[in-house]
Amino acid sequence: MDKSTITPVRFAFMFLLMAILLVLNVAIAKADDKIDKALIILTSPSLQTQGMAMVLGNTMQAQGVRVDVLLCDKAGDLALSATQSPALEPKKVTPEQLLAKLMSGGASVNVCALYLPNSSQDQTALRDGVGVATPPAMAKMMVDEDTRVFSF
């Protein structure tokens, strides 16, 4: 048999090899892509966790990422205008101040759809600019391939 002849086995092997290289190329290109949108889902009652989530959100925003925040459960209290947490070291800022900075930079902030109905508060108790999320809108954002979801 002549080595220059392409047999069905050689053809299948070459086709498989090209397909693998194509998949790897796409995967590597995707891994190098900078994210454009981030969704931070915050549920933790811990002030340090809330603060760090806001610090990271502000840092992403400073790097050009569009940030959206969803506050659920006890973290929803951050959205209340009456909430005043103690300042955290080393910058002596509160999670609420960091949240306000995110919002002033263009971040959208919403409480979970279940937050207000399961608390003693209504929408008038929320900070200016904070909305109430709808499940369809949040689900769409969560599955958007261009959005990276972070949960704290």
Whether the predicted pLDDT of 31 surpasses 70: no
Average pLDDT (99-124) is 97
- List the alpha helices (DSSP H) in the chain: 8-32, 47-62, 95-104, 135-143
- Give the pLDDT of residue 27: 60
Whether the predicted pLDDT of 10 surpasses 60: yes
How deeply is 40 buried, as exposed, middle or buried, from its count of CB atoms within 10 A (0-12, 13-18, 19+)?
A: buried
Lowest-confidence segment of 30-34, 108-112, 135-139 by average pLDDT: 30-34
Whether the bond into 90 is cis, omega within 30 of 0: yes
* Residues 102-111 pLDDT 10s: 999 999 999 9
* Both tokens assigned to 49: 């966790």
Average pLDDT (51-74) is 98
Whether the predicted pLDDT of 47 surpasses 90: yes
Pick the closest to residue 59 from 20, 8, 98 (CA basis): 98
| pTM as predicted | 0.78
- Give the pLDDT of residue 30: 56
